[in-house]
Structure 1
C-alpha cells in the first residue's frame, strides 16, 4: 500500500488533536503577548498574585486576609486557596513569571478535553469536531480569560462547569461522583456557581424522571462530601466567619439531606411510573428549599443585597461584569443574547441532523438545558457569560458543520463569500458584538456615560513610581490599591472587596466629597500619601460628583495646604501627595 499521507479526519477525535489545538492557541497567545504587556490584567489579578506571594512568604494556609490593605487588621477576603495552589506550585518550580503566564493557559487544556468528551458522547461529525476544537477565539469572553496573567478565579470556575457538563452526559455512577466533586470545587471557589450547581442536580433529576439509572444520589452524595472536605481543608473549621459569601455548613447540610432523600426515593411507591417519579422529585425540591431557608436564614439571599449606600451608588452599580444584560453596553448585551441564540439554534440543528437518534436524545437535551441555564444566568450576571460561551461551543460547531459547507458550495463568488461570512457571523457572537460596538457611544450604558469618559485622561498611571518613595500607607482609589501593593512595598487604606465596606465607603466618600470632608476621613486612617490617577475610570467617575470635590482637586493640583505634591512619584496622569502633619 502506498503512503496515503496525513488525514485530519482520521486524527481529529484523538487526544493528540486536543494537544495540537491547545499548543496552537498557546503559541499564538505567547506571540502577541509582548504587544499586551507582561503584567497582571486587572485589580483581581493583582490581588490573586498578592495572595500567592503572602502564602509563599509564610502566611497561614487558612488565612487569606490581605494584611497590606488597611493595616494592621487587614482586609477580610472570601477567596479560596484552590485557585492559589497551581499558581504557587508553578511559582516554586519555575518562578513567578512563568506561573503567571502558563497557569491561565493550562486551564484551557482540561476545557478542550471536556469539549472533546462532549463531542465524542454526542458523536459529532468530523467537521463539527474540528470546529469544536478551534472555535474558542470567536467567543469574545473566552480568549481573555485564558490569557497569560489572567489569574483570577473566573477561568477555573468556567472549566469546572464545562467538565461537569461532560460528566453529566455519561451514564456511570462514577461519572456522577466525579461531577459532584467538580461541582463542589466550583462552589467552594465561588458561591456564585451555586445556581448552576442546583441546575445540575435538577438535570440528574431529569435523568431519573426519564427512567435512567439512579445517578442523582451519587451526584448529591459526592457534592455533599466533597464540599465539606474542600471547604474545611481550604477555609478551616469556621469557613464563613460571619459572612454569607462562601459555602456555609448550612449549604452542606442541605446537600447531605438532598443526597439522603434522593437515595430513598427509588424505594418509594409508584416509582415505576413517570407521575410517581415527578411527584417524588418535586417533593424533594420543596423540602430542600424549606431546609435551606431554615438553616441559612438571611444567607439564603444575595450576599450583595445589603450594601452601604455609598457603595451601592458609586461602586457596585459600576462593576460591569456583575450587572444584568439591560445595564450593559449595546455590544455586550447583544453578545450575551446572541450566545443564547446560538445555543437554541444549535439545539435545533442537532435535532435536524439526527443527533437524537441512537440513544443520544437525552444527552443532547441535558447539554442544551444546562447551556441554556448558563445563558439565562449570564443575562442576570454578565461574568457568567464565560460559562455560557464555553457551553455554547458545541452548538456553534454543529451550526458551522451544517451550514458552512452549504455556503461554500454556492457557485458564484460574491454570493459564496456573503453566505460564508453570514454563517460565521450567525454561528459565533464575535461579529455581532463587533458590528454593534459603534452603537455603544450612541446608546451609552450607565457605566460608560459620556461625562465620565470625557474626564479620563490619556496615559499610563505608572503606579510603580510609588516604589521610589519611602514605604508608607497610601490613600488611593479602590481599583488602584492592588496594583500599588503588587508593584511597591507600600500599604493601602482600601481596595474593592465587599466584606470591608466601611473603609471602602470612606475612600469613596472622601474622593467624592469636599476637601474638608476628605480631611476628616483621611485623619482617621493617618496615611502617609494620597494618590489619584486621572487616567483611571473610577477617578473620572468620582470627579462627576461635584466640580469642587476632592477628586478634582487632586487631579488639578489645587490641593489644600495639608497636602504636598511628591514630584518623584507624580508624573503624567498620576498625582501623589504627602500628607503634612
Structure 2
C-alpha cells in the first residue's frame, strides 16, 4: 500500500511538533534549578556537597596568590597542611570567571554568581554534545528528546545544579565525548577521543575504568577488522599518549614529576597511556602487513596480547601499591568509620537496608538503559553506536551497585538511550491501532527518572519506619551559611568538628580544621573519629595533640560510638556531660561550640 500523501501545508494556527519539542526543551532547561536554590547559591554560597565547598576554597587560595603548583591547603591540619590531589585545570576556569565578574559585582557576589553560572554553562555544553552525538546516529528528533530527557534525569541534574563546582560534571562531558568519537570512528575523532580521555584522567581517576574500556574496545576492533579500524586506534593512542603527559606537566610541579600517586594522574597511569601510544604506533607502522582480514587476525591478537601483558607486568612490577586501588594505606579504623559511611561509597544494598527510597530515581533508569542498549546491539544498522553505549553503561551499572559513585558518569548516557526510545515511540504512534505501540512508549517513560519520584515518595509515605538513615535536611542545616558563618566572629584558631563539616568551615570562616572528608589527611580523619567517637580521655588527647582552640558539634549528626557507651562528645552536645577544659560559647544557630582551655 502506498504511503499517504503529506499535506502541502499545515493547517493555519497549528504549531509543528518539532517546535513544540523545542519549547518543551527550553522550559525543562529553564526549570532545572529552583529559583530559591539559585538565589541561595548567589547570596550565601549554598553548595550541594562538601567537595563543592572545598573546590571554592582552592579557587580562593589560587586567586589570593597561592602558586599554581602549590595545591596544599594550609588551613587543613596546620601548620604543614594537606596536599590536594585535585586538578588545577578545574580551578582555573572557575577562578577566571570570578575574576571577570569581580569588577562588576565585587568579590563576594562574583563567587556566588560563578557558583551558580558555572554548572549552567557546563550543562549547555553537555546538551550541545548530547544533541550533536545523538543526531549523528539516530536523527534530530531523537537528539532533541535526549536533551529533554537529560533535564529529567536526576543522575545528570544533580551534577549540573547550581553550586555544583566539583569535577563530576566535567567527567561526564569527557567520557560522553569520548563515546561519540568512538562511534564516529576515524583518525580525527579518534584523536579527539584520546585527548578527551586524557582530560578525564587529568581531572580525576573516576573515568579510568571507562578510558581502559575504550582502549580495549578500539584494540579489539582493530584485531578483528584490521585496516578499517586502524585509524580510530591510531588516533586514540596518539591523542591519549601525547595529551596525558602534557596535561600532567601543566598541573604538576617539575620537582614532583617522578613521584607516584595512586589517586591522581602520575607515573603509574602515564605508563599505561604511553603504552597505548606505543601499541598504536606499532599497529600503524605495520601497515599492510597486519591489515588484511582474516589472514592476520591471529597476528593482531598476538601483538595486542603481548603489548597488554608487557604493560600490565610493568605496572605491577613498578607500581605494586596501586594494584590495591587509590587508598592503599588507609587504616581499618578510617576505612570502617569514615570511608564506608560516605554515601557515594555506599552499595545499593545499603540504600535498601536503610530505607533510602531516593535510590529509585537513580538505579532503575540506568538498569533499563543498560538492558536496552545491550538488546539494540543485535538489531538495526546502529550496531556500533549501541555497542559503545552498552560498553560504558554496563560497567558503570556494576560499579554503581557496589558504590553509588559508579553511577555518576554513566547517568550521562541514560538520556541518550531514553531519547532514542522515545523517538521510536513517537514514530509508532502513527501506526495502526492494532500495532504494538505501548511497550516502546512505556519503556521510554520508564527511563525518565523524574517519574520514579512517584514510587519513591509513596514508599517514603507508606513505610516511614523503614528509614534509618540520617536526616539529610538536619545534616545540611549544620553546613549552611547561617550555621557556620557565626563561627567567623570568633578569634582565629583550629577547629575540631565532625568530618563532614570541615570544608564548610574552611569556606565560611578564617579558622583552620583538623578533619575533612579526604583520604590524604589520614591523621585528621583518625583524630576526629577517635576524639569525637571515644571517651573524654580520647577527646582530651586529640585537643592537645592538634592544638585545638574550638570544639564544634552538630547535634543532628553525632559521631559513631567507638565504645559500648555513648561517646563523650555526643553526651557533651546533649548536655548530659561536662568538662572543666571546655567552655561553652553562645553562638547562634544549630551548632554547639566550646572554647578549649589551655
Q: Could you say which TM-score interval applies, normalised by the shorter chain? A: 0.7 to 0.9
Structure 2 equivalent of residue 490 of structure 1: 511
| Contact in 2 for aligned 1:343/1:368 (Cα 8 Å) | yes
Partner residue, 2:112: 97
Alpha carbons of structure 1 residues 272 and 327: separation in structure 2 relative to 1, 3 Å: farther
Residue 54 (structure 2) pairs with residue 33 (structure 1)? no
Report if the CA contact (8 A) 1:407-1:423 is conserved. Answer: no
- Determine if the alignment matches structure 1 residue 431 to structure 2 residue 460: no
Aligned pairs (5 A) from 1:335-346: 335-346=362-373
Matches of 2:564 and 2:484, distance apart in 1: 25
TM-score, scaled relative to structure 2: 0.84
Quick one: structure 1 residues 350 and 187, their matched pair in 2 at CA, closer, same or farther if it must change by over 3 Å? same
Question: What's the secondary structure of 1:494's corresponding residue?
Answer: coil
Q: Secondary structure at the match of 1:575?
A: strand
**1:165 alignment counterpart:** 179
* TM norm structure 1: 0.86
Q: Is the Cα–Cα contact under 8 Å of residues 55 and 166 in structure 2 kept in the other structure?
A: yes
Contact 2:418 2:444 in 1 (8 A): no
C-alpha displacement of 1:30: 5.8
Separation (CA, whole Å) in 1 of partners of 2:535 and 2:473 = 19
Q: Which residue of 1 aligns with 2:133?
A: 118
Deviation readout 1:245-276 (Å, 9 max, x if unpaired): 11122321222122212322352855423432
Correspondence list, 1:82-93, <5 A: 82-93=89-100
In structure 1, C-alpha distance between the alignment counterparts of 2:122 and 2:165, rounded to whole Å: 10
Task: Point out 4+ residue stretches in structure 1 off by more than 6 angstroms.
Answer: 1-7, 9-13, 407-412, 418-421, 440-445, 454-458
CA RMSD across the alignment: 3.5
Is the 1:117–1:166 contact (alpha carbons within 8 Å) kept by the matching residues of 2? Answer: no
Instruction: Give secondary structure in 2 for the equivalent of 1:290.
Output: helix
State which of 221, 225, 229 in structure 1 corresponds to 2:242: 225
* Aligned-partner Cα distance in 1 for 2:349–2:173: 27
CA distance in 1, matches of 2:475, 2:384: 55
Deviation of 1:565 (Å): 0.4
1:428 and 1:24 map into 2 onto residues whose CA distance is: 13
Query: Residue 134 in 1 paired to residue 148 in 2?
Result: yes
Aligned residue in 2 for 1:559 = 578
- TM-aligned CA deviation for residue 171 of structure 1: 2.5
- 2:595 is equivalent to residue 578 of structure 1: yes
SS at match of 1:577: strand
Correspondence 1:210 to 2:189: no
Q: Contact conserved, 1:160 with 1:182, CA < 8 A, in 2?
A: yes
How many angstroms does 1:88 deviate by? 0.4
Cα displacement (A) at 1:87: 0.6
1:61 aligns with 2:78: no
Query: What is the distance in 2 between the residues matched to 1:382 and 1:179?
Result: 26
In the alignment, structure 1 residue 550 sits paired with structure 2 residue 569:
yes
Residues 135-154 of structure 1: CA deviation (Å, up to 9, x unaligned):
11322221121011111111
Change in 2 beyond 3 A, CA 1:470/1:87:
same
* Aligned counterpart in structure 1 of residue 51 of structure 2, from 34, 44, 52: 44
Q: Which moved more, 1:470-479 or 1:35-44?
A: 35-44
CA distance in 2, matches of 1:420, 1:31: 35
Following TM superposition, by how much is the alpha carbon of 1:455 offset from its aligned partner in structure 2, in angstroms?
13
Distance across 1 between alignment mates of 2:505 and 2:126: 33
State the match for 2:251 in structure 1. 234
| 1:507-518 to 2 correspondences below 5 Å | 507-518=528-539
**Residue 138 of structure 2: SS of its match in structure 1?**
coil
2:85 to 78, 83, 86: 78
8 Å CA contact 2:414, 2:447 repeated in 1:
no
- Indicate the larger mover: 162-171 or 456-465: 456-465
For 1:39-64, what per-residue CA distance to the aligned partner results, in whole angstroms no more than 9, with x for missing partners? 22221111100000000000010111
Unaligned ranges ≥5, structure 1: none
Secondary structure (helix, strand or coil) at the match of 1:29 reads coil
1:273 aligns with 2:328: no
Instruction: Please say if 1:246 is aligned against 2:264.
Output: yes
Does 2:304 match 1:284? no
Aligned to 1:526: 547
Q: How far, CA to CA, are the matches of 2:552 and 2:574 in structure 1?
A: 9
Tell me if structure 1 keeps the 8 A contact 2:506–2:513: yes
Taking a change above 3 Å as real, the CA distance of residues 213 and 351 of structure 1, as seen in their structure-2 partners, is: closer
* Structure 2 residue matching 1:565: 3-state secondary structure: strand
CA distance 1:465–1:60, shift in 2 (3 Å): same
Q: Cα–Cα, structure 1 residues 59 and 178, in superposed 2: closer, same or farther, change >3 Å?
A: same
Distance 1:494 1:324 in 2: 24
Shift of 1:399: 1.9
Q: In the superposition, relative to structure 1, how do residues 548 and 394 fare at CA in structure 2: closer, same or farther (>3 Å)?
A: closer
Counterparts of 1:548 and 1:498, CA distance in 2: 24
Q: Say which of 503, 507, 515 aligns to 2:524.
A: 503
Please give the alpha-carbon distance, in whole angstroms, between the structure 1 residues aligned to 2:66 and 2:398: 40
Q: Closer, same or farther in 2 for the Cα pair 1:459/1:152, shift >3 Å?
A: closer
Q: Which runs of 5+ in 2 are unaligned?
A: 1-7, 102-109
- Is residue 419 of structure 2 the alignment partner of residue 397 of structure 1? yes
Partner of 1:380: 402
Q: Which residue of 2 aligns with 1:109?
A: 124
Given the superposition, is the C-alpha separation of residues 22 and 425 from structure 1 closer, same or farther in structure 2, using an over 3 Å criterion? closer
Moved more, 20-29 or 390-399: 20-29
TM-superposed deviation, 1:195: 1.1
Equivalent residue of 1:328, what SS? helix
1:475 — aligned with what? Answer: 496
CA contact (8 A) 1:137 1:143 kept: yes
Query: Is the 1:67–1:73 contact (alpha carbons within 8 Å) kept by the matching residues of 2?
Result: yes
**Alpha-carbon distance in structure 2 between the residues aligned to 1:411 and 1:308:** 64
In 1, Cα distance between the equivalents of 2:453 and 2:567? Answer: 38
Where 1:86 maps in the other structure, the secondary structure is helix
Q: Is the 8 A contact 1:310 1:509 kept in 2?
A: no
SS in 2 for 1:72: coil
